[in-house]
Amino acid sequence: MHQGDHQRPPLSKIRPCEGDDISLTERSQRYKLNAAQKFMDLIAGYMAPHEGKEFLRKTCQKMFPDAFPKPRSEKFGFIMESLAERWLESENKVEARIVLSVVTPHVTFGEMLNYIPDLSDHQFRMSRKVARHITRTDEDQEHHRESYHKDRVDLFIRFITDPIIMIGLHYSRVRTRLSTKETIEILNVLRLHRKSEVIRLYYKFLKESNLENMKLSRSTLFRILDACAAKERKSVKCLDSYVALGMEIPEIVIIAEQEYHDVKKAIANIEAFRRHQLRAARSERHRIDLINNLVEDEAFVLMDWIQKWLPAFSRETQAQYFGKKQISWHCTDVSTVLDGKKVHHSFIHVMEEDSQVITE
pTM given for the model:
0.26
pLDDT reported for residue 4: 44
Choice between 173 and 102, residue whose per-residue pLDDT is larger = 102
pLDDT reported for residue 325: 47
- Altogether, the residues listed in the chain come to a count of 360
pLDDT bucket at 79, cuts 50 / 70 / 90: confident
Average pLDDT, rounded, for the chain: 75
Q: Are 287 and 304 in contact (CB under 8 A)?
A: no
206: number of Cβ within 10 Å: 19
How far CA 217 is from CA of 146, 153, 222, in Å, comes to: 12, 11, 9
pLDDT reported for residue 214: 86
Give phi and psi for 175, each to the nearest 5.
Answer: -105, 140
pLDDT reported for residue 359: 45
Maximum CA pair distance of the chain? 119
- Beta bridge mates, 166: 191
Mean pLDDT of 48-52: 80
Q: Which of 191, 112, 124 is nearest to 159 (CA)?
A: 191
Q: What is the pLDDT of residues 153-205, one digit of tens each?
A: 888 888 887 877 777 666 566 677 777 778 777 666 667 778 888 888 889 98
Q: What is the pLDDT of residues 319-340, one digit of tens each?
A: 665 554 455 677 888 888 888 8
Q: Are 357 and 330 in contact (CB under 8 A)?
A: no
How far CA 26 is from CA of 31, 175, 271, in Å, comes to: 9, 92, 66
pLDDT reported for residue 25: 80
Q: Which element (helix H / strand E) includes 301?
A: strand 299-306
Q: Are 103 and 79 in contact (CB under 8 A)?
A: yes
Q: Are 335 and 291 in contact (CB under 8 A)?
A: yes
Mean pLDDT of 2-26: 54
Q: Are 307 and 321 in contact (CB under 8 A)?
A: yes
